[in-house]
Amino acid sequence: MGKSLFAFALAGVAAGDDVCCYMGCSQKPASCNPVGQYCSLSSDNCVNNCAGEWCPDSPSPPSPTPTPPPPTPTPSGATYCPDPSNDFFAEYGNVQWSSSGWTIHGNARVSSKASLNLVGGFLEFDMELSGAHGGVNNNLYATFPQGGNQGIGSYCDSGGSCSTCCAEMDFTENNGHCFQATTWHAARDGSDHDGTAHTGSIGTSVHIRADWTTSNSLSVSVDGRLSSGDGFSDVMAAYGAVLYSSQWTGWVPGSCSGDGDLAASSFTVSNLRIQGSVVQGPEPTKCSGNYSVSVV
């Protein structure tokens, strides 16, 4: 084969022709044999006899762009710094509101007006227990009323004597300021009365934080002591969690000494922060300014 077969005749080459090229198809029609010349008669001639690259009129489609990995999950919803006097019910008893929580004296209970989905978010608060008596249960917990929270008549829990029963998550139940239990009552019908408890000692000041992943897991830190379990993601999404805090007698964790004097006992919740979204009820007060959150 003579060298004339490899001569470039650019004037006779168009970008849409089937031709043999020598500087890559991306440079077509530059460095390509015209249509009709030996090297451009077939891909076999081009590749095997002319040492070129066969460049058809319709270039192969580019490889699809790989699907990027999903972004790192961020906490869902908004960050709330509730104004308890507006965002909570005082269901019964002696309750004093503060800008970020409440003080309960004697037999009393408060509850959030909103039902919240906390999946991917968190709940945190402080408790001051110097006025709490041993033998008296002071607490903060969540249950999942199907119709949301309209007040005391909406109440459900997993207690042994519950008349309307539902799942319950006890972030903390304290025996005065001596001992506490974090308890999962995971049965959705409220039949898990005893629950699965994680316990330990406490003092007069306690910081508690609960973090939910997006994969149905919940971890609770009580002054850095961690426990974990079910995240209740199904009932969170369907009904939302109503937050409750109360003081009562009849059961306490541990065996601390105390007089069990409910009327004389008091405790305070403060610095309540919530990351989540509203499922039912009015939206709580959002935090103002920049408030950083951690992602689990």
State whether 96 and 160 are in the same domain. Answer: yes
Higher pLDDT, 20 or 217: 217
Q: Are 130 and 177 in contact (CB under 8 A)?
A: yes
- Mean pLDDT to the nearest integer, 184-188: 98
Select from 199, 206, 197 the least CA-distant residue to 177: 206
- Mean pLDDT to the nearest integer, 192-216: 98
Tell me how crowded residue 146 is: count the other CB atoms within 10 A of its CB.
14
Rounded to the nearest integer, the mean pLDDT of the chain is 89
Q: Please check the confidence at residue 244 and state whether its pLDDT lies above 60.
A: yes
Domain that holds residue 259: 78-280
- Mean pLDDT to the nearest integer, 28-44: 83
State whether 51 and 150 are in the same domain. Answer: no
- Say which CATH number the domain at 151 has: 2.70.100.10
Q: Please check the confidence at residue 114 and state whether its pLDDT lies above 90.
A: yes
Least confident range from 75-84, 159-168, 240-249, 256-265: namely 75-84
Q: What is the pLDDT of residue 63?
A: 52
State whether 49 and 93 are in the same domain. Answer: no
Instruction: Identify the band that residue 294 occupies on the pLDDT scale cut at 50, 70 and 90.
Output: very low
Measured distance CA(200)–CA(280) in Å, rounded: 34
- Does residue 249 belong to any structural domain of this protein? yes
- Tell me if residue 153 falls in helix, strand or coil: helix
Q: What is the pLDDT of residue 240?
A: 98
Q: What is the pLDDT of residue 106?
A: 99
State whether 158 and 264 are in the same domain. Answer: yes
When divided into structural domains, the chain yields a total of: 2
State whether 51 and 164 are in the same domain. Answer: no
- Does residue 3 belong to any structural domain of this protein? no
Residue 240, token pair as written in the block: 């939302």
- Mean pLDDT to the nearest integer, 159-169: 94
Instruction: Identify the band that residue 62 occupies on the pLDDT scale cut at 50, 70 and 90.
Output: low
State whether 169 and 221 are in the same domain. Answer: yes
Instruction: Identify the band that residue 225 occupies on the pLDDT scale cut at 50, 70 and 90.
Output: very high
Instruction: Identify the band that residue 76 occupies on the pLDDT scale cut at 50, 70 and 90.
Output: low
What amino acid is encoded at 254 in this protein? G
The residues near 78 (Cβ < 8 Å, ≥ 6 apart) are 275, 276, 277, 283, 286
What's the pTM? 0.74
